[in-house]
């Protein structure tokens, strides 16, 4: 039996049912599962692994509900710096199609390493281009190597330019092959058990890159195997025009005709929705992966997160692709989610007869009211598991997975902010984790990845990013 003791936390944020924030507290875990959380006087005195959290805040591990890890290979491409979604995609499809198994491994290690260093312990990766031998196997092997809890998409694209889709024909796959490989991946890797480190998801890419037939078959397959179902939706007005022109329906209504609304479904972005569509998500149990930095980077818009929350829609955070962010920093995403929700509030028209109002003046509460720091943290911790269909991560309490991270509080960055250390994590500049523990295993040890030597990974990754970009 493996035991772990995290001791002497200055502040420990449980995110339990009472939202307790404990002082001079710790966590005791056995075989990757939490047994006790509370004051140090109530915990065992030692364990196989002891993590000293003195002077640090401890939080539940963040859950990333939407990412494209292979895109770490195409961060900051000059030709893609100043485009919105459709031209940005068209400039990179063929580069992504050049990704080899070794390049894929390196990209996953880089992306998951950056996430772990910013408090993320569970990651959903939405990969959808499988060429040159690249496969879900490469992604899953790399995730196991670094030790991050991993939800992996057997994504797909099947609608090429010649059939009215956005991607080039040589970047899409045959639909029979997609379905067969999806079944293979689920049967080989999906683990539905409590504390599972690997789960599979079916993830056709988007309305403009797959056929209606593939979307419908994917939904049937996912429900047969009881795995999650995911795609991009309502990200841009270009996508909305695509479904209106092609199917005479808005994206949400069109997906409903294909059996794509349900509590096993979540959509990335979900920006351009009306109030009726928000209620439809709420009534059917659909979740949303909110990606604030990517939405700003590509000028896609501001997702109505406070309206979703008010309607009871499940909301999690996603960093999205590392080429549209261009980072895999979950702490930055938490901060930006709070700030962008506040900006959305400031853009709402005032209530009542007045023509203008100042944010410094009080006004009636409404769906667009202030997003608080703790609400943003709650989306990143408790919200993500609800979106992914898990109840074993997201909080620090007995029976949950021992997934957490720590940040040093007594630093220049937090000086003057310790009136409220929990809010400081969001309001102040994003910090690196001092420790990140996943499944009771130390993945980040005093600010460094402990499971993989990252120096050669960074060097080789940089070599591959130039190589695949220059092949097109």
If pLDDT is split at 50, 70 and 90, which confidence band does 359 have?
Answer: very low
pLDDT in tens, 386-403: 999 999 999 999 999 999
Which phi and psi (to 5°) does residue 27 adopt? Answer: -135, 135
| pLDDT of residue 105 exceeding 80 | yes
Q: So what's the pLDDT on residue 164? A: 96
Mean pLDDT value across residues 291-309: 96
Q: Where is 108: in which H helix or E strand?
A: helix 101-116
Q: Which of 10, 182, 132, 148 is nearest to 69 (CA)?
A: 148
Q: Which domain holds residue 276?
A: 62-375
Helix (H, G, I), strand (E, B) or coil at 82: coil
Q: Does residue 459 lie in a domain region?
A: no
State how far the alpha carbon of 417 is from the alpha carbons of 54, 303, 333, 412, in Å. 18, 29, 20, 10
If pLDDT is split at 50, 70 and 90, which confidence band does 355 have?
Answer: very low
Q: So what's the pLDDT on residue 346? A: 75
Is 373 or 357 the better-scoring residue by pLDDT?
373
Q: Are residues 298 and 338 in the same domain?
A: yes
If pLDDT is split at 50, 70 and 90, which confidence band does 52 have?
Answer: very high
CATH number at residue 11: 2.30.40.10
Q: Are residues 143 and 20 in the same domain?
A: no
Is 345 or 62 the better-scoring residue by pLDDT?
62
CATH number at residue 233: 3.20.20.140
Q: So what's the pLDDT on residue 349? A: 60
Q: Are residues 407 and 340 in the same domain?
A: no
Q: Does residue 468 lie in a domain region?
A: no
Q: Does residue 469 lie in a domain region?
A: no
Tell me how far apart the alpha carbons of residues 32 and 273 are, in angstroms, rounded to a whole number: 40
Q: Are residues 56 and 66 in the same domain?
A: no
pLDDT in tens, 424-469: 999 999 999 999 999 999 999 999 999 999 999 999 999 999 999 9
User: In this prediction, what percent of the chain has a pLDDT beyond 90?
Assistant: 93
Q: Are residues 166 and 295 in the same domain?
A: yes
Q: Are residues 323 and 408 in the same domain?
A: no
Q: Decide: 91 and 171 in contact? Cβ < 8 Å.
A: no
Q: So what's the pLDDT on residue 350? A: 56
Report the b/e string of 296-326 with b at 16+ CB within 10 A.
bbbebbebbbbbbbebebbbbbbbbbbbbbb
Q: Are residues 71 and 116 in the same domain?
A: yes
Q: Are residues 140 and 110 in the same domain?
A: yes
Mean pLDDT value across residues 89-101: 95
Q: Are residues 23 and 75 in the same domain?
A: no
Cis before 413 (ω within 30): no
Q: Does residue 359 lie in a domain region?
A: yes
Q: Decide: 258 and 297 in contact? Cβ < 8 Å.
A: no
Q: Are residues 173 and 233 in the same domain?
A: yes
Full-model pTM: 0.95
pLDDT in tens, 177-186: 999 999 999 9
Q: Are residues 328 and 371 in the same domain?
A: yes
Q: Does residue 463 lie in a domain region?
A: no
Q: How many CA atoms lie within 13 A of 331 on its CB side?
A: 22
If pLDDT is split at 50, 70 and 90, which confidence band does 322 have?
Answer: confident
Q: Does residue 458 lie in a domain region?
A: no
Number of structural domains in the chain: 2
Q: Are residues 330 and 209 in the same domain?
A: yes
| pLDDT of residue 222 exceeding 50 | yes
């Amino acid at each position: 039996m493996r035991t772990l003791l995290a001791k002497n936390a200055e502040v420990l944020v449980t995110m339990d049912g009472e939202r307790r924030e404990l002082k001079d507290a710790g966590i005791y875990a056995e075989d990757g599962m939490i047994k006790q959380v509370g004051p140090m006087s109530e915990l065992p005195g030692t364990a196989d692994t002891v993590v000293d959290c003195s002077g640090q805040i401890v939080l539940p591990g963040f859950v990333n509900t939407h990412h494209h890890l292979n895109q770490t290979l195409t961060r900051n491409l000059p030709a893609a710096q100043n485009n919105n979604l459709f031209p940005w995609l068209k400039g990179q499809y063929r580069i992504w199609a050049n990704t080899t198994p070794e390049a894929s491994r390196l990209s996953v290690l880089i992306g998951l390493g950056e996430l772990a260093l910013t408090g993320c312990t569970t990651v959903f990766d939405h990969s959808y281009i499988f060429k040159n031998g690249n496969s879900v196997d490469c992604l899953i092997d790399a995730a196991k190597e670094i030790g991050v809890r991993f939800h992996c998409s057997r994504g797909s694209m099947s609608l090429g330019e010649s059939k009215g889709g956005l991607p080039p024909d040589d970047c899409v796959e045959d639909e029979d092959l997609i379905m067969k490989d999806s079944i293979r991946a689920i049967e080989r890797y999906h683990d539905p058990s409590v504390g599972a480190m690997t789960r599979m998801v079916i993830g056709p890419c988007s309305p403009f890159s797959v056929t209606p037939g593939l979307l419908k078959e994917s939904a049937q397959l996912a429900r047969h195997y009881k795995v999650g179902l995911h795609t991009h939706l309502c990200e841009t007005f270009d996508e909305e025009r695509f479904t209106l022109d092609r199917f005479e329906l808005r994206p949400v209504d069109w997906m409903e005709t294909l059996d794509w609304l349900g509590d096993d479904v979540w959509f990335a972005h979900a920006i351009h929705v009306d109030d009726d569509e928000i209620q439809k998500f709420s009534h059917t149990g659909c979740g949303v992966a909110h990606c604030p930095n990517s939405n700003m980077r590509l000028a896609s818009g501001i997702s109505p997160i406070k309206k979703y929350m008010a309607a009871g829609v499940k909301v999690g955070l996603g960093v999205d692709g590392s080429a549209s962010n261009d980072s895999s920093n979950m702490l930055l995403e938490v901060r930006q989610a709070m700030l962008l929700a506040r900006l959305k509030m400031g853009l709402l028209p005032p209530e009542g007869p007045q023509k203008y109002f100042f944010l410094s003046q009080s006004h009636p509460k409404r769906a667009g009211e202030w997003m608080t720091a703790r609400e943003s943290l709650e989306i990143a911790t408790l919200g993500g598991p609800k979106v992914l269909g898990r109840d074993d991560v997201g909080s620090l309490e007995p029976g949950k997975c021992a997934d957490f991270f720590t940040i040093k509080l007594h630093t220049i960055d937090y000086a003057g902010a310790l009136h409220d250390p929990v809010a400081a994590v969001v309001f102040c500049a994003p910090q690196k984790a001092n420790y990140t523990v996943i499944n009771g295993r130390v993945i980040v040890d005093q600010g460094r990845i402990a499971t993989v030597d990252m120096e050669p990974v960074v060097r080789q990754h940089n070599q591959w990013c130039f190589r695949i970009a220059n092949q097109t």
